[in-house]
């Protein structure tokens, strides 16, 4: 399984990195579509939500079941769902989630000066 871990450490210009984060994005609900399922997301990491959709399973603390809690890295990175691929390191959404967890000062509005 460790061969699947994402080990890139690409710093963004403002210093935001997945390696200086507590993976707060990995506590968001992740819905999957047919393409995600075809990509090979392991079925043991999936569950059905209350509306019948397929989502990534979360543990009792709300963490995505694919997060290796020792390394804070995604254990299925090459097969991760599209929404995870689109949630880019250092993006506005990333900085907003980090700010909600007190990890970085980030603009929380889409007004002037927002990323």
* pLDDT per position as a tens digit, 2-59: 444 343 444 444 667 776 676 678 888 999 999 999 999 999 999 999 999 999 999 9
Q: Is residue 67 part of a domain?
A: yes
Domain that residue 93 falls in = 2-100
Q: Is residue 113 part of a domain?
A: no
**Interval 45-62: pLDDT, tens:** 999 999 999 999 999 989
Full-model pTM: 0.69
Beta bridge partners of 73: 68
3-class DSSP string for 36-103: HHHHCCCHHHEEECCCCCEEECECCCCCECCEECCCCEECCHHHCCHHHHHCCCCCHHHHHHHHHCCC
pLDDT (0 to 100) of residue 111: 41
Beta strands in the chain (DSSP E): 46-48, 54-56, 67-68, 73-74
Residue 108 has pLDDT above 60, yes or no: no
Average pLDDT over residues 86-106: 78
Q: Is residue 109 part of a domain?
A: no
Q: Is residue 66 part of a domain?
A: yes
């Amino acid at each position: 399984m460790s061969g699947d871990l994402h080990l890139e450490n690409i710093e963004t210009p403002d210093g935001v990195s997945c390696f200086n984060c507590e993976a707060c994005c990995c506590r968001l609900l992740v819905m999957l579509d047919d393409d995600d399922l075809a990509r090979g997301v392991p079925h043991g990491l999936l569950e059905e939500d209350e509306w019948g959709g397929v989502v990534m399973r979360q543990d009792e603390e709300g963490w995505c079941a694919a997060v290796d809690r020792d390394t804070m890295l995604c254990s299925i990175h090459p097969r991760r769902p599209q929404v995870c691929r689109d949630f880019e390191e250092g993006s506005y959404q990333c900085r907003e989630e980090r700010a909600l967890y007190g990890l970085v000062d980030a603009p929380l509005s889409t007004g002037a000066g927002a990323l």
